[in-house]
Amino acid sequence: MNSVTQPTLTIDGKTVAIEGERNLLELVRKANIDLPTFCYHSELSVYGACRLCLVQIDGRGIQGACSTPPEPGLKIQTTTPEIREIRRIAIELLLANHDQSCPTCPRSANCQLQSLALRLGVKKVRFQSVHKQVALDESSPSLVRDPNKCVLCGDCVRMCSEIQGIGAIDFAHRGHDVSVQPAFGKQLGDVECVNCGQCASVCPTGALTPKSEVDQVWDLLADKKKTVVVQIAPAVRVGLGECFGLKPGEITTGRIVAALKQLGFDQIYDTSFAADLTVIEEGTEFLERKTEGGQLPMFTSCCPGWVKYAEQYFPELLPNLSTCRSPQAMFGSLVKAMLPDQMNIERKDLKVVAIMPCTAKKFEAQRPEMGVNGDPDVDNVLTTQELAQMIQSAGIMFDMLQPESFDMPFGFYTGAGVIFGNSGGVMEAVLRYAAEKATGKRLDQVEFQQVRGDSGLREASITVNGSVLKLAIVHGLRNARVVAEQVRAGKSHYDLIEVMACPGGCVGGAGQPVTTSPNARALRTKGLYHADKTLQLHKSQDNVFITECYAKFLGDIGGEKAHHLLHTSYQSRRRIADEFLPLVEPKGEDKLKVSVCLGTNCFLNGSQEVLNGVLRHAEQSGLEGKLDVRAGFCFEKCETGPTVMIGNEHIEHCTSKKAIEEINNRIECDRPAQLPNTHVCKHCHD
């Protein structure tokens, strides 16, 4: 019997087997050699921009390890005098054009550029900077973009495009002027960013970071007139420890509570309580849709990144989203409705802070519908990283803290609420409720292994009370697009779909500690499932304080009061802000704005002809100085196109003739009449 010889190559004199690795970098790391790199991530495409992972290949010279496929028999050296000097020069060049405000940078403790400069022994930058300072982009509620710290590695660009399928940022310009920026040179808050922050999670420097609310929270804690309560999301308990040298996935719940009490919060609660509440409301909503012929499939709505993505790209599917608020939003709404009376304080003096693994939660908290008369239900959102910063700032020795317990009743939770932090956790928690509710029998086997896993798109079929439920579990928005397009095309066979924007779910949120560990997300996931196992209760319906909350305050599940406090609605956000581009620049301030939609439906119905007719009329009539003609999309009136806005008036089913008549009327209206009654304008009747 012939034996198959394992292909090998040599790395620094050591024989290494080739076992399906994609490139030399993976083989080098398999040999326990950590080659430096900025732009390599196993989940992203190979880019080869930073030129740090260089190796010397006998007979071939110096090549990038990330972009070179392995071949049997290659002899590779990873550290030679020439390679070391090339790496040092590369780091020096980056530092020369880098904002070196390192002590005050949010990424100072875990900046990859800083780490590599130290590792490679760069003590002096020999090159003169030609970089011009650029203003910070603080337009986003979730992220801060600092172009002065960008090293052009492209990690953020590929993450946004390849994993999330959005492309809110990309490379612009050429040569010395090349930069990474949002579309059309706009700010991040004005484009189709969903605030997921995954760009910041892979950025090796401080060019993209979560937007800090630490100072605002310190101010709240210092205000003795305010009662400040805090909620902690499930995934935080398996991530925070990494900031203090613990392993990913280690559960630190008790120490987190102790630290928050020492920081001065008045009450410490768990978002898992609200997750249990979400299960009850969402599970009931799903069962009603399933049994009463409601809109199916139903998408979960706990992830604000996914919700904003649906609003932007699939507004026609918004009726398919559960109307339930996220656990964060439910918690804020419920607490601000209940506690003021119980504590004998006014609502304005009760402040709610949320500790989240997610940057999109910052955006969600600022949505106008998540508040009452301008007073938000959640006042501030801190990421896991920001909580660590506060603990460190206060000098609290986290690893020495004795565990403490949550305050009641909003600190009590079941395992179903805890597993919300994992991809598949929301689905499993709802199944634990729905299966028992549909059958009327106690569910003893609570684990649904069918919905667990790490694949970005998973399917499962589960029989409940004789009915087969077809399920989909999705993480990463590019995968969500695949499923959403099936639903939009009427080709979906699912009943319930869970979507989480971040890879792995909330455990992989951009607010979690930055890590280069390839198994960090898996360990965090394992930690949450372990937390579920160690609890006495695993089903949301068994949470006695949830039952009491309905009995004494909310009333019926899904009833009028519960719906008012715990549910919401969504809106179309199909296009980026101010996207109409000028075609005729006005010469003065006296101008009439004419905007023509060139979106798909309007274009197919003749909007291009309308635009051309308006431009010809402006030229032939000498009106260029009076008109501000713009083209773009979208007025969200696709069914009545072509759509044109003249001044502040929409004209639907518009033609060139209609547009020109309206323009003439508007322009004529602004001209002083030479004789009485020589012109009667329809806009001036009153």
Compute the residue count for the chain.
Answer: 686
Based on the residue annotation, tell me whether 285 is a catalytic residue of this protein. Answer: yes
Considering the candidates 66, 156, 160, 302, report the single residue annotated as catalytic.
302
- Catalytic hit among 26, 192, 242, 282: 282
- DSSP one-letter string for 491-506: ----SEEEEESSTTSG
The catalytic position among 281, 285, 498, 662 is 285
Q: Which residues of 82-121 are buried (b: 16+ CB within 10 A; e: fewer)?
A: ebeeebbebbbebbebbbeebeebbbeebbbbbebbeebe
Catalytic residue status for 138: no
User: Measuring CA to CA, how many Å separate 346 from each of 71, 306, 336?
Assistant: 71, 34, 9
Q: Are 653 and 668 in contact (CB under 8 A)?
A: no
Give the Å distances, CA to CA, from 121 to 22, 260, 438: 30, 39, 65
Instruction: Look up 282 and say whether it is catalytic.
Output: yes
**Active-site residue (options: 308, 336, 361, 362):** 361
Q: What is the DSSP letter of 300?
A: P
Cα separation, 625 vs 618, whole angstroms:
9
Closest CA to 286 of 422, 435, 491: 435
DSSP string, 512-571: SPP---TTHHHHHHHHHHHHHHHSS--SGGG-HHHHHHIIIII-STT-HHHHHHHB----
Quick one: residue 636, left, alpha or beta (phi over 0 = left, psi -120 to 50 = alpha)? left
Using alpha carbons only, what angle is made at residue 515 by residues 182 and 478, rounded to the nearest 5 degrees? 45
Are 478 and 496 spatial neighbours (Cβ–Cβ below 8 Å)? no
Torsion angle defined by CA atoms of residues 325, 327, 330 and 331, in that order, rounded to the nearest 10 degrees: -170
Q: Give start and end residues of each alpha helix (H) in 236-371.
A: 253-263, 271-292, 304-313, 327-343, 360-366
For residue 192, indicate whether it is catalytic.
Answer: no
Task: Work out the burial of residue 674: count CB atoms within 10 Å of its CB; fewer than 13 is exposed, 13-18 middle, 19 or more buried.
Answer: exposed
Both tokens of 452, joined, read 């667990």
Single out the catalytic residue among 43, 369, 649, 652.
369
Indicate if 302 belongs to the active site. Answer: yes
* Annotated catalytic residue, options 192, 242, 364, 498: 364
Cα angle vertex 431, ends 280, 287, to 5°? 60
Catalytic residues: 282, 285, 302, 322, 361, 364, 369, 506
